[in-house]
Structure formats: C-alpha cells, structure tokens
A = this chain, B = another copy of it.
C-alpha cells in the first residue's frame, strides 16, 4: 500500500461535514497513513472515526482526539475546517467575529504544539481573514499558510461549461482573484473556452455582456446557491479541493487553481487573498496577476474590501495594528 508520504496530517474540525469528508478524501488519495482527526466535540468525532474504521481502508493509522496538544504535537500538515458553518441567509462576513477568535486560538496552538509544521491550509470562512489571523498567531512563514480560494474558480469553470454546453476540461485557466467573499474579482482574460479567449467571446452573440454579468453573479453566489438547493452549506467541494492543496504541499500533483496567500507587494499590502500561485513542496508562492484595466480595478476593489474586514478584526482587538505584526510574527514584514 503506497502512500505519498509518512507525514502526520491533522484534520481540524473533523467532526463536521467538511472535516469528515476531508478525512475520507485524504485516505482515498493515499496521502499518508498517519492521519489524526481533531475536534473539540468528541462524540461526533468518534462517530466520524468509526465510519472511517468501518470502511476497511488498508494500511491506515487513523487516530482521533479532542485534545489539541495530542493532535497537534508532531503535526507535519494541518488542514482546518474548524470554524462555524455558514447558515442560510448569512454572508461569509457574518461569520467574521466568531471565526476570527477560533483562528487566533488555532494559530496559537500551532505555535505552541507544532512550530515545525510544514504547511497549513485554512478553509473556514471568511478564509482570507481566518487564514491571515492563523498566519500571524502561528509564527509560520507566509509560504507555509494557504487558504482555500479555488472554489470560485471552479465555479466559474462550471458556469462556462454549462453555458457553452461543453466539457469542463475545455474551459482552461478560469480564475477569480482577491477575496473569497462576495467582493471577489471574477476574471475573464485568463480563460480560454475550447481554445478561444473568453474575452473575445464576451459581448458577442455567443455570450452577450449581460449574460456574462449574470454568470459572474452566479459564480459569486455559488456557495449560497448550494445552500438553497441542498439545504446545507457546500462540504464536498471544499473538502476535496483543500485536500488537493495538502497533496500538492506534500509534493504530490501540482495544485491547478488559485490559492489564498499572504500578499505584501507594494500594491496589495498586509493581506491574505487569492492570487495566481504555485503550491508545492516549497509552499505557496504568488505571481503578479495580469488582467485588463477593468479586472485590475475589480481586484483593487476586492482588496480594499478585505482591508476593511482586516481593519474590523484589528478594531475588535483580535489582531494588533499592522506596525506591530512583526512583533507577533517575525516572519511578517
């Protein structure tokens, strides 16, 4: 039974819908035999663990605990969906305060119990903010912390595939950047549709501008749409994609979608957001985002929205003022 690595992977929030799916996904991907499920709520956590034991997976050393010290000690990789879930009617931002505090605690636990962790992926929303908080409190390097942002790009891919009635594989390099919230920047210029640039198609009969605008809204509201249809927040897609991120960070298949990362490049400063990235054994690294002037303006808008959220968190006292970030985490300029 081959595994990609022998490293310890900790799944935080494993009693929940996303976390339990992450665990199954990680086992099925054969990332590592050493998987530890952590959740403060023990009964449901044990229920999830039992389900996985009852699946009869071979060669797996699956453990579970509600003791964070036991879970985090020796962790090489952590993926956390351990926040409160978004309920019908809530925006991602409504979750801000509660999940900001959970992220602070999470980062502190990383620093305390597994300062040598290689990479952590933060999934709970608003992920741009919870990821930033986790980065600051963990003391890790920016390239060691990433957030799930891919879902918006995959939703764009799917909306285009559906609209043009072609396989999703023929929609190449669909991208959204910036925030993972409702102020995301949905790009067109990066994408080709069956080999043709999407920007050449928008505004023609094949895709009138109005239709494109509606499609952009559907991408932005993609998470809400799942809640409306299914009566529950999406869990399969965030779980699957975040474990693909862990696989990439472990040196497996390169991750094909944007990743939320800490950005401080003179234009976007002291922020965590989706960029054009590579995610591999060396962690996450971003490139400058290319785009039309309109797209860049959209991305600036998304960035400013994130700055507002960040500043709210500073005002709450969860994060110190930016000039003091370096004291909290010396890896942050």
A residues with a Cβ closer than 8 A to B are 15, 20-21, 24-25, 28-29, 43-44, 46-48, 50-56, 58-61, 150-151, 154-155, 157-158, 161, 167-169, 222, 225-226, 228-231, 234-237, 240-241, 256-257
* Distance of A59 Cα from B167 Cα, bound (Å): 8
Q: Which residue of B lies closest to A25 (CB)?
A: B28
| Closest-CB distance, A220 to chain B (whole angstroms) | 13
Nearest Cβ in chain B — how far from A148, in angstroms?
Answer: 12
Copies of this protein in the complex: 2
Taken together as a complex, chains A and B put the C-alpha atoms of A80 and B229 apart, in Å, by: 22
Chain B residues with Cβ under 8 A from A20's Cβ?
Answer: 236
The answer on a CB contact under 8 Å between A257 and B56 is yes
Q: Is the CB of B54 within 8 A of A158?
A: yes
B residues less than 8 Å from A234 (CB atoms) = 50-51, 54
Q: In the complex, are the beta carbons of B24 and A58 less than 8 A apart?
A: no
Are A43 and B229 interface neighbours, CB within 8 A? yes
A60 to B158, CA, bound (A): 12
Residues in B neighbouring A55, C-beta threshold 8 A: 154, 236-237, 240-241
Q: Is the CB of B56 within 8 A of A241?
A: yes
Chain B residues whose C-beta falls within 8 Å of the C-beta of A15 in the assembled complex: 230
Q: Are A158 and B24 in contact (CB under 8 A)?
A: no
CB distance from A206 to the nearest CB of B (A): 21
Which residue from chain B places its CB closest to the CB of A56 in the assembled complex?
A: B154
Contact yes or no, B52 A237, CB < 8 A: yes
List, in ascending order, chain B residues with CB within 8 A of A50's CB.
158, 222, 225-226, 229, 234
Q: Are A237 and B61 in contact (CB under 8 A)?
A: no
* Contact call B237/A155, Cβ cutoff below 8 A: no
Contact check, B237 vs A54: say whether CB atoms are below 8 A apart.
yes
CA distance A44 to B232 in the complex (A): 9
Establish whether residues B43 and A230, one from each chain, have CB atoms under 8 Å apart when the complex forms: yes
Q: Is the pair A54, B230 in contact by a Cβ cutoff of 8 Å?
A: no
For A53, A55, A60, A237, the residue with the greatest tally of chain B CB atoms inside 10 Å of its CB is: A55
Question: How close is A165's CB to chain B, nearest CB, in angstroms?
Answer: 12
